[in-house]
Structures are given as structure tokens and as C-alpha cells.
Structure 1
Amino acid sequence: MKKLLLTLTLFTCLGIGSVSAQFSRPITVGAGAGAAYGLADLGNSKLNFAWYGEGDYLISPFISVGLHAQKGEVSGNGYGSEYSNKYYAGNVNGKVRLGQFMGLPDNYSNYTLGASNLERIVSNIYIGAGAGLMKNRISRQLESGYSTGIVANGGEIADDLSGIHFIVPLNVGVDIPFGRTLYGPQWAINVNYQHNLTTNDNIDGIIHSKNDQYGFVSVGVKYAFFNRN
């Protein structure tokens, strides 16, 4: 197993080195908006507006680390009850794009100037993961019989409606580049789905059986700084 991990690490490093020729390692900033929804105890979830801002540092053309800030709302209803959580969230994350494994030319300038639009889009499909925090701002209206049933089945009605807790964001998406320079695209449209795992069961003010989760579908624009023309 150790030999396998060492081999994979070596190939990844070599891949970074080969496609990084003529790459200026830009910093990108982006912003966008979309819809968030909760996966909580009150299962009839609603789609609500959410927005985000982010910054990324590209280690190679296809590997990045970054910061992501988000503000939105998740809500739901059922059993004569409802909740709303106007949350704040932030995370540190990493992403790996498909181009890292496509055997692209060593000279990144030749690739970015000569690749077809389809190849450029496919090479920027990515997956990623991170770690962050979520700040709750929960309001709720619970039907008395539902509250009694939750407690009778070993759950509880949370007192803390504004706590901060740990989340694990999982991302899948694509950067659609437009414009060409010797050192990579200056602009991109980003389409992303982020699924957030929480470490507790309290994005809805009800604690029962399993941890809550929420999803965020977004579209945004990214701009690369320090990307020489």
C-alpha cells in the first residue's frame, strides 16, 4: 500500500510539473448565486435563494485550493410544522480537474491556444472537498403533537437556534473558460453543485436520528488575476 501511494504521488507531481510549463499560477476570484435546499427532519424542503463569493489559488492549471463564503436560506415543512434557517457558511476546499489526468502536452501555452472548445470544457470538469463552518439563524413553528412525538422517540427540540457547527462540503462542477491567452483563460463561467454534510442534527432546530445536510446549486463567473497576456 505504501508503494502504491508513493507511486501515485510521484505521478501526480510529475503531471503537475509537465502541464505547468508556461503556467502563471493565477489567483482567481468568483461570485454567483443559485438555490439551496435542506435535507432535514421536516422533509418537505423548499428551494431558496443563496449566493457566494470565493477565491482560489491554482497550484497547476487543473488543481486548486481556495476559500468559499456563502449566505442563503434552507427551509422545509411537514406534520403541521415548518422551519427556516437563514445561514452563513464558509469553507476551505481543494478541487482536482479532469485535465490533470488527460495526458495533455507539456507546454501549457500550446495546449491552451490550440485545444478545441469542447476539450477545454471537458478538461475543467472537477470534483472537490473541504472543511468549514456554518452559522445557524433558525426560526421555527412546531405543531405540539409533532414536538411531543420527537421527544417520545428519543429526540429533542433544540434550544440553540444560532449556533456554529462544522460542515464538510463536497463539490462537483465545471469551469467553462472563454477567451484565450498564452497562460490560460482570463474568464470562466462556473456551474457547481455543493453537498454539505454536517456534524450535528440541527439546521432545522430539531434533533432526531441522523445528521442534517443541505445542497447548493449555483452558477457564477470567475476572473483570473496575475494571468499574464
Structure 2
Amino acid sequence: MKKLLLFSFIAVCCLISSSVSAQFSKPISIGAGAGGTFNLTDLGNVESKFAFYGELDYLITPFISVGLHGEKGTLAGNGYESDFKNRYFAGNINGKIRVGQFLDGAKNYSYYTLQANTLSRILSNVYVGAGAGLVKNRISRNISTLYANYLESSGGEIAKDPGEIHFVVPLEVGVDIPFGRTLYGPQWAINVNYQHTLTFNDNLDGIINKNNDQYGFVSVGVKYALFNRK
């Protein structure tokens, strides 16, 4: 996880020193990336694992987007002489709004991309987002008899269906850093993102207790813009 964060920081610093622009002027982008996961579950000794994603975004304006996100990864943890591993699939529909939407330059995008300084261009692409989606669990687990007895005595239980699908709400914060100017604006972007996923079912680890499970996903990816605005 520390190596991933260091890589992300270096990538951002390198791109700041190069020629960058505001968010894509093209209406559609596709992207892919990878990173590390960590979970907040009943078995609290977290083992950071790998995940990757693919996404499709539509830009309503150069700074507001709606999109589809697909993700595959692993969550793992241990404790109380027990452990679990969840090789999950997830998908969501989401919306993002970038700082540039609130800047004066957003009213004239073409002029802004030519006149804004590097710091303003980076700042304009910082975003927050939220969505709604589903997670499909694929859980394997080893639960000690002592912990199983404790769960039963405290009102918890071992989940009967470790492969169920349930509803989630992903929350995001990150930055897109477009580069590679064309006649119609930048066509590529580096994305650095943190996604925190809230569940409404306490079963990311196959253990149902008092609090709903959550997980985080830190990622670095690349985006490519498609088509031209009419």
C-alpha cells in the first residue's frame, strides 16, 4: 500500500511539471487501472490485496461526468484464530463533479485551457463523486470454534450464503490529469483515485455481527477520450 501511494505521488509530481490541461473536451472517455484494497470488517487484521477496474464516463460538461465502473479484486483479513478471503466483483453507476465547474474559467472552456496556469489546471480536475452499485461476494473462510461460539453468544452469526450479491454506495475523491494536446483538447489522462465503499449488509467477510462492512480502494489508472463534441 505504501509503495502504491508513493508511486501515485511521483506520477502526479511528474505530470505537474509537464504540459497539462483542463478536463477532456471530448464527451466520452474509457479508462482502466489497478491498486490496493483494504477492508473494515469483523476480522480486523487487514491484509492489503490487489484489485483492478475498467470504466466508461460521459462528460455532461468538461467538469461534470456520469459513468459506469466495473471492479474485480480481493479483500482479506484475519483475527481470533480465523481468516477470510473475498474474491469479489463489483459494479456501479456514479457521478463526479470537479473543482473546475466552480471556477470562472469553466464558462469559456477553450479560453480557459489556453490561459490557465499549471496549478489552476491541476486544481480544476480535483473531484468528488458518489454512486450506487452491487458487490458479488466469493468468500472462503476459516472460522475457529471459539470465535463462532462468541459470535453466537453476542447475537452474531456465520453467513449462510458467502456468495451473495448486495447493494453498495461508493464514495470517491481523486484527480484527473489530462495530457497530450490535440486540435480538440487533451486526449489522455492519468487518474489517481480513492474509493470508499459503504455496504448495507455485514457480509464482506462472511461474518454477520453488529456493524456493516466497508472497504477502501486506492488506485492509479489511465483514461482515453473518444469522439469530438459537435
- TM bucket (normalised to shorter chain) is 0.7 to 0.9
1:29 match: secondary structure: strand
Question: How far off its partner does 1:127 sit?
Answer: 0.1
Question: How far off its partner does 1:105 sit?
Answer: 5.6
**CA-to-aligned-CA distance 1:185-227 (integer Å, 9 cap, x gap):** 2111000000000011001010000100011000000010013
Structure 2: runs of 5+ lacking an equivalent: 1-23
How high is the TM-score relative to the length of structure 2? 0.86
Q: Which residue of 2 aligns with 1:164?
A: 165
Number of residue pairs the alignment of both structures matches: 206
CA contact (8 A) 1:109 1:183 kept: no
Q: Which residue of 2 aligns with 1:124?
A: 125
CA contact (8 A) 2:129 2:173 kept: yes
Q: Which residue of 2 aligns with 1:195?
A: 196
CA contact (8 A) 2:137 2:165 kept: yes
Amino acid aligned to 1:204: D
Q: Which residue of 2 aligns with 1:75?
A: 76
CA contact (8 A) 1:134 1:167 kept: yes
1:186 match: secondary structure: strand
Q: Which residue of 1 aligns with 2:206?
A: 205
What is the rounded CA distance, in whole Å, between the counterparts of 2:183 and 2:124 in structure 1? 17
**CA-to-aligned-CA distance 1:17-36 (integer Å, 9 cap, x gap):** xxxxxx85510000000001
What is the rounded CA distance, in whole Å, between the counterparts of 1:68 and 1:214 in structure 2? 16
Question: How far off its partner does 1:110 sit?
Answer: 1.5
Change (3 A) 1:105 1:136: closer
Q: Write out the 4+ residue segments of structure 1 that deviate beyond 6 Å after TM superposition.
A: none
What is the rounded CA distance, in whole Å, between the counterparts of 1:182 and 1:123 in structure 2? 21
Question: How far off its partner does 1:44 sit?
Answer: 0.5
What is the rounded CA distance, in whole Å, between the counterparts of 1:107 and 1:141 in structure 2? 58
Percent identity between matched residues is 67
**CA-to-aligned-CA distance 1:124-161 (integer Å, 9 cap, x gap):** 00000000000000000011101100110000111101
What is the rounded CA distance, in whole Å, between the counterparts of 1:136 and 1:205 in structure 2? 9
Structure 1: runs of 5+ lacking an equivalent: 1-22
CA contact (8 A) 2:106 2:112 kept: yes
1:180 match: secondary structure: strand
What is the rounded CA distance, in whole Å, between the counterparts of 1:95 and 1:106 in structure 2? 18
What is the rounded CA distance, in whole Å, between the counterparts of 1:146 and 1:172 in structure 2? 36
Q: Which residue of 1 aligns with 2:136?
A: 135
Q: Which moved more, 1:131-140 or 1:98-107?
A: 98-107
CA RMSD of aligned residues (A): 1.4
**CA-to-aligned-CA distance 1:85-123 (integer Å, 9 cap, x gap):** 000000000000000111116321111123222211110
Aligned pairs for 1:59-70 within 5 A: 59-70=60-71
CA contact (8 A) 1:87 1:135 kept: yes
What is the rounded CA distance, in whole Å, between the counterparts of 2:185 and 2:143 in structure 1? 53
What is the rounded CA distance, in whole Å, between the counterparts of 1:184 and 1:138 in structure 2? 45
Q: Which residue of 2 aligns with 1:106?
A: 107
Q: Which moved more, 1:140-149 or 1:111-120?
A: 111-120
Q: Which residue of 1 aligns with 2:151?
A: 150
Change (3 A) 1:118 1:179: farther
CA contact (8 A) 1:68 1:92 kept: yes
CA contact (8 A) 2:26 2:185 kept: no
